Structure 1
Amino acid sequence: METTATHQTKQKRNRITLHIVIVLLLLLWIPVSIDKVSDFAAFKNNILNQPFSDDLGYILIYTLPGLEILIAIALVTEKFRKAGLILSTLLMTAFTGYIAAALLGAWEELPCGCGSVISGMNWTQHFFFNLLFLSLSIWGLYLWYKLRSSNAGGEAIEGASAKRHIKKYSLTSKF
């Protein structure tokens, strides 16, 4: 059984690591969303040049920037951080899968519809870049859950009734 001091040190380390992951994710989501909004015409043109239907293209044109902004806001808001990490993971999974399909030759020619720093990358670099941020999103979600589960037992470690504490969280928690 670990001591309270060791537990608190691990919690602090996990909390700091989660904050670093959040900052790194924000360094992705904020610039790419600003780029899409500030040069909307170029973003729209790039999306409509992708090898999927224009109907899907128009859905993406009007949902991606808003979704990326929503992710950034959720990540900085403690109450919605879990949702931000889940959305980041889902969107990075979709982007990474799309690039993987392109690398596997699903389409003959595929224009890159990306802006910001990403526009200077080739497809392989872009794939690994996305894998990195997908991994960060998953790791952030893991840390979020780890911190929540360790907080749930915090009072029991300090001597309070674990049974009463668990009952309290099961009835009122929205995790």
Structure 2
Amino acid sequence: MKWSQKQTILFTETISIVFVILFVYAAVSKFLDYEKFTIQVSQSPILTSIGHWIVFLIPTMEIVIAMLLALPRLRLLALYASYSLMVMFSTYILIILEFSPFIPCACGGILDSMGWTAHLIFNLFFVAIATIGILLLTQKSVT
């Protein structure tokens, strides 16, 4: 089925709105409970040496990507950034699950109560919708 330009725009805007909600919610949760987030990141066996950077960098990146998603001319770039961030989060979860005896959660808000498998599935869902958005926008620019 070939999508019309209107359907493509509507679908990519919906994907963008979902990511904006996710990233703003996650960043605000981390900033509101900054001390807890800092402690959780410092407990990570992988992030200890760069933890002091991560606690500021991740929520800042989430806010910047959310702002870029709101700008139609930068949406493709923002979807690539969203995809990359979600792949990094998913990879982190896989590494922690596979190689770490201690599994700290540096998630915020409702994600804090998710199990690690559920969190991985959640992240992979967002990887998939970012991929769909990228494919739709690149298809639109080719035609």
TM-score by length of 2: 0.92
Let me know the Cα RMSD of the aligned residues. 1.7
Contact 2:12 2:137 in 1 (8 A): yes
Match for 1:71 among 56, 65, 84?
65
Q: Counterparts in 2 of 1:134-145, with a 5 A limit?
A: 134-145=127-138
Contact 1:18 1:143 in 2 (8 A): yes
Q: Counterparts in 2 of 1:76-91, with a 5 A limit?
A: 76-91=70-85
Q: Which has the larger radius of gyration?
A: 1
| TM-superposition CA deviations, 1:4-61 (whole Å, max 9, x none) | xx97x61111111111111111121110011111221111111111112533111211
Give 5+ residue unaligned stretches, structure 1. Answer: 1-5, 151-175
Aligned to 1:125: 118
Contact 1:26 1:75 in 2 (8 A): yes
Q: Which of 1 and 2 has higher RCO (CA within 8 Å, sep 6+)?
A: 2
Contact 1:50 1:110 in 2 (8 A): yes
Identity %: 26
Residues 53, 11 of structure 1: CA spacing in aligned structure 2 closer, same or farther, 3 A cutoff?
closer
Equivalent position amino acid for 2:54 in 1: L
Contact 2:41 2:47 in 1 (8 A): no
Equivalent position amino acid for 1:23 in 2: I
TM-score by length of 1: 0.76
Give 5+ residue unaligned stretches, structure 2. Answer: none
**Cα separation, 1, equivalents of 2:54 and 2:47:** 11
Match for 1:62 among 37, 41, 56?
56
Equivalent position amino acid for 1:52 in 2: I
| TM-superposition CA deviations, 1:96-131 (whole Å, max 9, x none) | 01112233x211111111111111110100010000
Aligned to 2:105: 112
Cα deviation for residue 74 of structure 1 reads 0.4
Match for 1:16 among 10, 13, 17?
10
